[in-house]
Structure 1
Amino acid sequence: MNRILIALSASFALGGCLLSPGTFSSELHLYSDERFSFAYDGEIEMLALSQLAQMNRASEERFEAECYDEDYEVRECSETEIAAQRAEWEETAGERAAERVREAEMLRQFVGSIDPSDPQAAQEIATRLERQRGWEKVEYRGDGLFDVSFVTAGTLTHDFVFPTVEGMPGANAFVSINLRDGGEVRVDAPAFAAGKEEPSWGTASFAALAAMAQAEESGEAPRIVVPQGTFTIVTDGRILANNTDEGPKPHARGQSLRWNVGPSKQQPPTALVAFD
């Protein structure tokens, strides 16, 4: 069963949850003259460097027979069942090895041809980020966790997404800004939530599943990084919609919206602002 969880976790992560925020603070300013600024300070976890590479290795460390009763409850296997499952496991060793090669190649494509099992992979990713404009600090703390500071400002004449990583098509958006006709701006922060209310799973849920599966395989306590922090929007525009708990608050530059992100935050922040 653990191998099933591991495979599912890896597949979901590769499907678009490569990056996850940890402890952070983030602020977005939007103004009527099209000026904007955005900042993110805190942690970013790269699942490929933390759980995925380790889980792929852990899933093949040892043979373990699994047997179930009529109610699909785990039961003790007989010697005959153990022998049969071991024989099948040994016969499919080549298939598993080929599958690991395919998964590793897929993972490298998502992380820009970087091998997550390479000890220098984290430093290569940090180097890529540091040479991109806006990344003022990128420090690797180990176990797939980076401590970063990102700041950018300019004229908002086009859509904006954070983060983007050069050569890494699998990077998922923490914050996106989309410009609409009629002077409206839509802001979404899909990664700033512990999960989602609809029947799908958020980034933190994948990380938690991956960590628990890995921990059960290795016997070590799981390390689960979940989004924890604040996201604030400051604007002099007209706020048409938002899903904060308290709504707009007065601010020296107009109004502000603030989301407290944590384990109990299920709905990702979203807002719609109009500049008449």
Structure 2
Amino acid sequence: MIANHPVRLRAAAMLAALSLLLTGCFISPGKFTSELQLMDQDRFAFTYEGEIFFLGLSRLAQLGAATETFEANCWDDETGEDRECTAAEVAQQRADWDAGAEERAARSKQEAEQLSMIMGGIDPSNPEASAELARLLLRQKGWDRVEVKGDGVFDVSFSVSGELSHDFMFPVIEGFPVTSPFVQLILRDGDVVRVNAPGFAAQSEDNPATGMMGGIGALAGLAAMDGGSDTGSGANPMPNLPVVEGTFTIVTNGSILANNTDEGPMATAGGQALSWEISPRTRTAPMALIDVSR
């Protein structure tokens, strides 16, 4: 049994966060409501209301600073419990720490450059980074509201409608690398549309977004072990992470050829509706195949 020492936990969280960021898995839903309308004559409308979490702008991605201050750490090899270091152990750890100063500085610089590149040139360490991202999103069509809630979380309202003449993906952000989308529409011949929502599944074994929501879930576990943002130990406590919770609905007057809802289609005034309740326990990404040719 390894003791949950805050320094070791923060170091593990930092490594895990950077791994997610560098694989492009750095955006996830929080609490949300989303609806997609697919109608004949290629008409469509999509809305997303609620939270979006940017890992690169959270304190979790900045926790490397917590390991940049020397602190001697000793524990019992058999029990894993923390114990007081001897003077010799403190001296040895201090010497090792001082010897690694140049390497740590180079690593921190590289990590900062990587984070900035992933965030579309926005420097996450800049106090104005969240406001800068909000301005960037509001400049793009469809983003009607972008409010900074803090610690990487934004409350947004996104809506777009028109003719579905090409594939569609949400979210797409100027200057950001293409990541696993929350929702993806793929057009097939014959006015058939495949709807995938990989960003709305946390634990699917076959889902490429597993690294995003599942990985962030693992980081949330580390945060819980350290007590969360309110009770975490040390000067840089672990932050709380947003809970993935929401509803995704598809409304259509077309023919539903396939879907993986629990209840199946429900009749509506304008046709049929499919609905998925999303939570951290959701294992299968929402999927539907719809013919809108009529």
TM-score w.r.t. length of structure 2: 0.84
Q: Which runs of 5+ in 1 are unaligned?
A: none
Paired position in structure 2 for 1:20: 28
**Letter of the 2:173 counterpart:** V
Instruction: Determine if the alignment matches structure 1 residue 135 to structure 2 residue 135.
Output: no
Distance 1:22 1:95 in 2: 36
Distance 1:52 1:180 in 2: 40
Paired position in structure 2 for 1:248: 265
Distance 2:96 2:49 in 1: 50
Deviates more, 1:45-54 or 1:144-153: 45-54
Match of 1:210 among 219, 227, 242: 219
| Structure 1 residue 128 displacement after superposition | 0.7
Distance 1:91 1:211 in 2: 33
Match of 1:10 among 15, 18, 26: 18
Match of 2:241 among 206, 219, 224: 224
| Structure 1 residue 121 displacement after superposition | 0.7
Match of 1:97 among 89, 97, 105: 105
Paired position in structure 2 for 1:41: 49
| Structure 1 residue 163 displacement after superposition | 0.9
- CA change 1:105–1:37 in 2 (3 A) is same
Residues 46-90 of structure 1, C-alpha deviations (whole Å, 9 max, x = no match):
11111344212123233343557379x566476344543332222
Task: Please tell me whether the aligned partners of residues 175 and 187 of structure 1 are also in contact (alpha carbons under 8 angstroms).
Answer: yes
Paired position in structure 1 for 2:292: 275
Match of 1:187 among 172, 192, 195: 195
Alignment of 1:80-159 (within 5 A): 80-159=88-167
- CA change 1:158–1:198 in 2 (3 A) is closer
Paired position in structure 1 for 2:169: 161
Distance 1:119 1:75 in 2: 35
Distance 1:182 1:274 in 2: 8
| Structure 1 residue 243 displacement after superposition | 1.4
Task: Please tell me whether the aligned partners of residues 58 and 214 of structure 1 are also in contact (alpha carbons under 8 angstroms).
Answer: no
Distance 1:61 1:173 in 2: 37
Task: Please tell me whether the aligned partners of residues 138 and 147 of structure 1 are also in contact (alpha carbons under 8 angstroms).
Answer: yes
| Structure 1 residue 102 displacement after superposition | 0.6
**Letter of the 2:138 counterpart:** E
Distance 1:51 1:206 in 2: 16
Deviates more, 1:160-169 or 1:177-186: 177-186
User: Secondary structure of the equivalent of 1:164?
Assistant: coil
- CA change 1:172–1:123 in 2 (3 A) is farther
Distance 1:221 1:53 in 2: 10
- CA change 1:199–1:121 in 2 (3 A) is closer
Q: Which runs of 5+ in 2 are unaligned?
A: 1-7
| Structure 1 residue 234 displacement after superposition | 0.7
- CA change 1:58–1:106 in 2 (3 A) is same
Task: Please tell me whether the aligned partners of residues 38 and 292 of structure 2 are also in contact (alpha carbons under 8 angstroms).
Answer: no
**Letter of the 1:271 counterpart:** A
| Structure 1 residue 139 displacement after superposition | 0.9
- CA change 1:67–1:10 in 2 (3 A) is same
User: Secondary structure of the equivalent of 1:191?
Assistant: helix
**Letter of the 2:200 counterpart:** F
| Structure 1 residue 194 displacement after superposition | 3.0
User: Secondary structure of the equivalent of 2:198?
Assistant: coil
Structure 1 vs Structure 2 CA RMSD: 2.5
Identity %: 45
**Letter of the 1:126 counterpart:** A
TM-score w.r.t. length of structure 1: 0.89
Instruction: Determine if the alignment matches structure 1 residue 56 to structure 2 residue 64.
Output: yes
Paired position in structure 2 for 1:262: 279
Deviates more, 1:4-13 or 1:27-36: 4-13
Distance 2:216 2:59 in 1: 8
Deviates more, 1:62-71 or 1:252-261: 62-71
**Letter of the 1:262 counterpart:** S
Residues 21-55 of structure 1, C-alpha deviations (whole Å, 9 max, x = no match):
11110000111211100000111111111134421
Residues 200-239 of structure 1, C-alpha deviations (whole Å, 9 max, x = no match):
8443333343345467395246412122110000112221
Task: Please tell me whether the aligned partners of residues 20 and 212 of structure 2 are also in contact (alpha carbons under 8 angstroms).
Answer: no
Task: Please tell me whether the aligned partners of residues 192 and 290 of structure 2 are also in contact (alpha carbons under 8 angstroms).
Answer: yes
Distance 2:252 2:196 in 1: 15
